[in-house]
Each structure stands twice: as structure tokens, then as C-alpha cells.
Structure 1
Amino acid sequence: MIIAQIMAGGIGKRMGNVPLPKQFLMLGSKPIIIHTVEKFILHKSFEFILISVPEDWISYMEDILNKYNIEDERIRVICGGKERNDTLDNALKYIENEGNFTGEDCLITHDAVRPFVTRRIIEENIKALKNFDAVDTVIPATDTIVEGSNGYISNIPIRDLMYQGQTPQSFKITSLRESLEKLKISERQKLSDSAKIMLLDGKKVKMVAGDISNIKITTPYDLTIANAILENFH
């Protein structure tokens, strides 16, 4: 069984003073999250497509699915969490409550605000899980990455070894649950990357090539760029 999770649990503070969580802002003629959902319903291999949103926005999400004629019986709108890992955990609990899953079942997680994910990226994530417990979508870093704290540089890694993480991030469900349960509460709150859960547990994470167009919309500038990309797609 292969399950998709579209992660829309946040409210998007970096977007500034806007009336809606960023995933519900308009991109062209539709909300960002509708563009993303449309990419996933094209894949018949998904048993379920979970859409994780803040509890207070579940009804709103269901309303816009109806408004934009998204009719797919695999879709489940569920409650997200306070932090990214809480949103992930809530999805795992939902899946477990459905029952009938095995150690080979997979979860493909994707940011709701990455609406330009391609069919190729999703398919390569699914394919890689046949041989690995975890998969991360990445692109090579084009800028020099600088590590530092308190206003000082502490390290400048070799750029050829650096990548920028995107999503999907994909996992064997049993292996992910096993690693997630080992995290301390403090680690759950600090970790902003789901693949690192597996790394901390000593598991290998396979890299899949992303795409420069697979941007994450987190700021007003990103939204401007996304509208330009959308125009070029049409």
C-alpha cells in the first residue's frame, strides 16, 4: 500500500500579514494547495491521499475541494499538528487506525506549498522505496553554504557535496514509526526535516533528483516567482 500525505499543518508566518494560511493563498486562478492536490490525484498507485491541515481549517479545506471540483474518494482531510513531526505522527496514527498495513507499506510526504512537483519526482520516490527505507528529494546547491552562529562563520562546507532539500520525502511506514518513537520530545520540537529522523537512527536515506521549479512558497517573493512559473507552464 502506498499513501500520500500533503502536509499543510502550518499557518505560514513568513508570508506576513495575510488573511489565510499560505497554502490557501491564490496561485493564478486556484489556491496553492489545490494545484498540489491535483498533482497527486493523477497517480493511481496511491491508496489514500491524506491532506493534513490545522484543525480549525478542516472544513475550509473540504469546502475548497468541492469548489474546485476535486472529487477523489481516496482523499482524506485530517488534522495536522503543532510541529512538522506532530503532523507526520498524526498521519501515521490515522493510517494505523485504518489497519491492514504491512512492513512494506509506504508514505510519500509532500509540502502543500510546493505546487510544481513533477510526475517524474513522485514516481522516482516511489520506485526508490523498493530498496530503501527512506528517500529525500534534493537538488545540488548552487550557492556556497556557510555554517555559523552568533554572527560568525564556523564552517564553509565543500559546495560539491552540498544539496538543497525539497519534498517529497518518502518512507517505509514501519521503519519511520520505529525511528520516530525513539525521538525525545525536545528532538521532535527541534527537527524540521523528516529525513533526519531516519539519519539519527542510523538508517540510510536515498537521494532522488528534484527540480529547480519545485519551489516552496513561504514568502510574498516566492509567490511572485510561483505565478511567473505558472504562466510559463501554460
Structure 2
Amino acid sequence: MTFSVVIVAAGAGTRAGPGQAKQWRPLAGKPVLRWSVEAFLAAGAAEIVIVTTADGEDALAHVLSGLRGWRAARGGATRALSVQAGLAALCDRPHDEPVMIHDAARPFVTRKIVDDLLEALANADLALPALAVADTLKLSAPGAPLRTVSREHLWRAQTPQVAPRHKLLSAYAAWASGEPTDDAQVVEAAGGRIAITPGDPLLTKLTYPEDFAMAERLADAARVTRVGQGFDAHRWGPGEEVWLCGVAIKHDETLIGHSDADAGLHALTDAILGAIGEGDIGDHFPPTDPRWKGASSDQFLKHAVDLVVAKGGALVNVDVTLICERPKIKPHRQAMRERLAEILSLPIDRVSVKATTTEKMGFTGRGEGLAASAVVSVETPA
């Protein structure tokens, strides 16, 4: 089932303490908002609308660098107005397509949450995840003694909450009772049927400063680190330049291959594919396919990165070693690092390029060819 997403990210988040709004703050090395966007893309979202402020629109290109399938919309003065702005931005989507409305401050969305919601929507007008209230509840009203309140039949509503787009639009159009606290309340008021699916404690909402310390610990439990390695070699042949790590170097020979024979990018592509269990470069770009004759290898690398993102993952760092007697790599090493950082959307301090020789031994030592090895680390959902 196709679905779209509206992520509400226009709030100031003043209760979270001084500094950036909480959706832009780093959580385990990346902005809070990015966690949700990656998760929805991995779950198969057809389109994601990020509803934010004018300043937020300027920040999105950096915060979501390397991700596709999203667009921005300008938020309103209230959450309800921001949700409606997001729904309006999806006007080119089917009117009955399910739309998940999600708070950016809930970073740990899972594929199971999404799948459960879509399944529950078959028999409801809106579905939401919720947790049964486990703590004893106390009511402290001004001028009244403290008393215990029954927790029976009480639920803690979470997001995302999903409903067909046209039902959300009509429910919001009919709403006239002040500011709603969530989308389910609006659909309830319009007479809609609400379904509850199992919530997830990881879907906690970041509200106060202490919530971020807890979220950092949860992030460790929600992610796994994978390591991949790659190796590639090409022989030398007649030519005037060689491509290495995305940089053209003038040389009296070139590397021979079906594509541009960039051994550095090939090794790095294989390392990324290996880290996520997606085979090797030949599986995705067969050397027998004429489409890849002379192709620039950066598109192979970008494809591997897209597969990581599709799994809800992210590259952490990469390390490439070029093995050759010549050309000299050191004069070009910084340019290679900068080019890799650009392709991979990584800070340059997470990109390493090194070179070594084999002390005249073997095929690289005899000048018959050049080899490259690469190691990468990738974080993906557990």
C-alpha cells in the first residue's frame, strides 16, 4: 500500500531548553528530524512533506543532505494549521491515499509501527499507535486534595497517526473547538472510527532537556554498526589520464576497465554493498551490460549510498587505500577526500584516502596494474 507522510517540524520547542529547536538538534550524531525521514523512506513512503518555518526551509538541504523523496511546506501558527499546510502540499497525490502525520520530535519510528498502522486502517478512518498507561495517576487540582485517578482504559497516544488524506482534510475543515492535541481528536469529532495499534516506548516525544539524554541511550539500542570491506584492481594500458577516487590525474597510462576503471570508487562501492548485505558491484552493474561502458563510477557509489538510505541507514566513515608504484597519490589526496565527501555527503574528517606501495613486489610493484582496498562503517536500524 502506498502512503505519504507529513512531518510537523515548525515548533520552537521552548520546553527543551535554550539553543536550537529540538528537531534540528543532534541525536547520536545526526539531527532529530533526519531520524524520522530516513525511517519513513526505508518503510516505503511515496512522498514526505516537511512542514517547517522559513528558517527551517533554509536548513533542510543540509539536515537532509543525500536524501530524496521529500519536499518542504511552510507551517502555520499552530500544529493544526501546519498539518493542514502539509496536507495541502500533497494535493498531487491520490485523494484517498493514506497520509501519516508525525511529530518531528519522535525520532524512533520503526517499519513495524508503519506496517501495523496501515493494516489497522483497513477497518478504521484513522489509526494511531498508543501505549496503555502503566503508572499510577494522581490528580492535583488547585484548592483540592491530591487524589488517585483510575488508569483503566487510558492510553498514551503517539504518532505517526494515519488516515486517508481526504478524510483528514474534511475533518479539519469541520473542526471548530479550539486547538486539537492530535489528529485523532479531529477525526473523532467528525464521527470517524479510530483504531489503536501497539505503541512503542522508543517513540517517546522529546520535550524536556532530560529527554535528550534518554534518547541518546535509546539511539544506541535502536541502531547497529556494520562494517564492510572492498577490493578492486585494474591493469595499466595506453592512455593519458587515470581516474582515482573521483579525480582525474594526468598520467602516461590509464587503467583498463568496462567503466572508467576507478579502482578507488569500485572498492568503496563494494565495501558499502558488503556492509548492508547487497552483493557486489557486478550484481548491480554487470560488466556485460553496454550501458556501463565507459561510465563514471561515481554513479555506482551513489547507488550504493542510496541503498543504505533506503534501509534507514547512514554512512559513518570510509577509508580507502590505493596500492601502486605510480602515479604519486599524495599531491591529489586532498582533492580525492573532498570529492568523496561530496559524493557521500559526509564531513571530510570522516573520509580517509591513503596510498602505499608493495616495495616492487607483485603486479603493482612491477607496474602492471593498480589496486585499491576500502573499509566502511554503516549504521542501520537494529
Q: Please give the residue correspondences for 1:104-183 in structure 2 after superposition, counting only pairs within 5 Å.
A: 104-147=96-139, 149-150=141-142, 152=144, 157-183=149-175
Q: Is 1:200 paired with 2:169?
A: no
CA contact under 8 A between 1:50 and 1:75: conserved in structure 2?
yes
Q: What secondary structure, in the 3-state scheme, does the structure 2 residue paired with 1:52 have?
A: strand
C-alpha distance in structure 2 between counterparts of 1:183 and 1:149, whole Å: 29
The one of 75, 80, 83 equivalent to 1:80 is: 75
Q: Is 1:94 paired with 2:89?
A: yes
What TM-score, normalized by structure 1, do the two folds share?
Answer: 0.87
Distance change (3 Å), C-alpha of 1:82 and 1:231: same
Structure number with bigger Rg:
2
Partner residue in 2 for 1:17: 18
C-alpha distance in structure 1 between counterparts of 2:81 and 2:145, whole Å: 32
C-alpha distance in structure 2 between counterparts of 1:211 and 1:153, whole Å: 34
What's the % identity of the aligned pairs? 25
CA contact under 8 A between 2:50 and 2:86: conserved in structure 1?
no
Deviation at 1:157, TM superposition (A): 4.5
How many residue pairs get aligned? The number is 222
C-alpha distance in structure 1 between counterparts of 2:187 and 2:146, whole Å: 26
Distance change (3 Å), C-alpha of 1:145 and 1:199: farther
Amino acid paired to 2:49: L
Partner residue in 2 for 1:63: 62
CA contact under 8 A between 1:5 and 1:50: conserved in structure 2?
yes
Distance change (3 Å), C-alpha of 1:54 and 1:145: farther
What TM-score, normalized by structure 2, do the two folds share?
Answer: 0.55
Deviation at 1:15, TM superposition (A): 0.8
Distance change (3 Å), C-alpha of 1:86 and 1:149: farther
CA contact under 8 A between 1:109 and 1:167: conserved in structure 2?
yes
C-alpha distance in structure 1 between counterparts of 2:97 and 2:143, whole Å: 45
Q: Is 1:224 paired with 2:186?
A: no
- Superposed CA RMSD in Å reads 1.9
C-alpha distance in structure 2 between counterparts of 1:32 and 1:22, whole Å: 7
Partner residue in 2 for 1:43: 43
Distance change (3 Å), C-alpha of 1:78 and 1:153: farther
Structure 1: segments with no counterpart, 5+ residues:
none
Distance change (3 Å), C-alpha of 1:168 and 1:131: same
Deviations 1:150-196 (A, max 9, x none): 35379855313111111111111112211111122xx34x2121110
Partner residue in 2 for 1:27: 27
CA contact under 8 A between 2:16 and 2:22: conserved in structure 1?
yes
Deviation at 1:56, TM superposition (A): 2.2
